[in-house]
Structure 1
């Protein structure tokens, strides 16, 4: 049975935007720690902070998505976002007018999340791949590459679902 609790998201973005944001936040939190306790070069400390960012960014995103409770003032927004997530998974707009309006209002945020996920993922993970190769850590570079491919695949999947849902919504609304 599906969980009926509404999920909370820090940002109302489509996938993989929230993960990239949480990865960036985790990296910025880990960077001073890794620089302070570094034994080697600054590059190695940045690569270690990047590895922590990839792991802890996922943990941060997962924890906030599933265990945070929405404030009562955000109940309508959370409910509308849940309708959009369901419509994206199913690939068809809701049957009721209020659901279609919620989907139409939030589709630009879904697209922004996919675009931000691609741009942020390529910039952040691409830079970490280059730094890892320069620091001589090929295993870390491969790990960052795998995460980058996963982020890009999720962004492409989200963009395709968004376009398909936008087209289905236009045909239902007669436009």
Structure 2
């Protein structure tokens, strides 16, 4: 989402700067700026400390992230409940990230090739592959964690 927002902010600037040039070049340049600034914004948000009002939510997310990395739910009941509450958001995030990456970077790859910016197209492709890989990995870990949290019935 950070890349999409950055792209929407950069597009008018690039269209104005490239008003005498082809629109495709302006869109590709806006896409390059969007990917770069979106990445930096993402890193800043991940590194920033939560406000005191968000501390409980941040702790629940930290528990969920740890469980996703380990592939196993926490042993305590409060941790299991926090993970179970956050799993739908994890799934939505993976799906929205993959869909957003394809919808944003797919057309940018095509426009970059048409504008003659093959290096930019390769860069967009690398970023898209990374986004899709993270989405697939997150989806698999989420399903595995959901299965581990589901109680076994019968037997």
TM-score, length basis structure 2: 0.93
- Bigger Rg over Cα: 2
Report whether the alignment pairs 1:96 with 2:76: yes
Task: Name the structure 1 match of 2:31.
Answer: 50
Q: Deviations over 1:49-73 (max 9, x none)?
A: 1011111111010011102x32222
RMSD of aligned Cα (Å): 1.2
Task: Name the structure 2 match of 1:25.
Answer: 5
Q: Which moved more, 1:117-126 or 1:31-40?
A: 31-40
Q: Deviations over 1:25-63 (max 9, x none)?
A: 111121122112115211101100101111111101001
Task: Name the structure 2 match of 1:3.
Answer: none
The equivalent position to 1:133 in structure 2, one of 72, 94, 113, is 113
Task: Name the structure 1 match of 2:103.
Answer: 123
CA offset at residue 114 of structure 1?
A: 0.7
- Unpaired runs of 5+ residues, structure 2, are none
What count of residue pairs does the alignment treat as equivalent?
152
Task: Name the structure 1 match of 2:41.
Answer: 60
TM-score, length basis structure 1: 0.83
CA distance in structure 1 between the aligned counterparts of 2:125 and 2:51, rounded to whole angstroms: 37
Structure 1 outlier segments of 4+, above 2 Å: none
CA distance in structure 2 between the aligned counterparts of 1:156 and 1:168, rounded to whole angstroms: 18
Task: Name the structure 2 match of 1:158.
Answer: 138
Task: Name the structure 2 match of 1:14.
Answer: none
Larger helix proportion of the pair? 2
Structure with the larger RCO, 1 or 2 (CA within 8 Å, 6+ apart) = 1
